Amino acid sequence: MFGHAITSSALFLGIGVLYDRYKTRLIFYYSSLITFMPIFSFFYFMFLLSNFGFPGTFNFVGEFFIIIGGFYLSYFITILTTVGSVLALVYSLFLYNKIFFGPLNKNFIRFYNDVTRIEFLIFFILLILILFFGIFPQTCLDFSNFFLYKLFVKI
């Protein structure tokens, strides 16, 4: 849940940055942003990778535990949820391709600027959290295990 919270916050912040620049949320108006917003494109790609549980990101750890635990419950439900994860991957990559690599249309986007310093700092902190907990998930697991032990076992 913690990984999902970080990743979803980062993705929504990215959409907020695009809306702040161009005042529209319609995907139709966005295209070829990688040429004008390369730093933002990198951050958004990393957050999309984390969204569907790419290895090395924090969401991979959570999805791995869910799949392993799901096999003890039901093979059918686990395979169904895995298919859902693959569909999320396909949708995310099509979205990224459309927004950042589509044909350039200068009629809709007239001015270009990349992320500001504060946006860069926030994106960087969120990316570091996603990668740190993806590489060292035991730190978060120990932290949650400590509080679960304090709350439920000692009472």
Residue at 6: amino acid letter: I
Interatomic CA distance for residues 118 and 42, integer angstroms? 16
Domain extent for 21:
2-153
Residue in the block written with tokens 């730093």: 39
Question: Where is 52: in which H helix or E strand?
Answer: none
pTM for this entry: 0.85
Interatomic CA distance for residues 11 and 34, integer angstroms? 16
What pLDDT tens digit does each residue of the chain (155 aa) get? Answer: 888 899 999 999 999 998 988 888 888 788 888 888 999 999 999 999 999 889 999 999 888 888 899 989 889 989 998 898 899 899 999 989 998 998 877 776 667 788 999 999 999 999 999 999 999 988 888 887 887 777 777 65
Residue in the block written with tokens 């396909």: 90
Angstrom CA distances, 12 to 16, 17, 66, 81, stand at 6, 9, 24, 23
DSSP string, 14-27: HHHHHHHHHS---G
Q: How many domains does the chain have?
A: 1
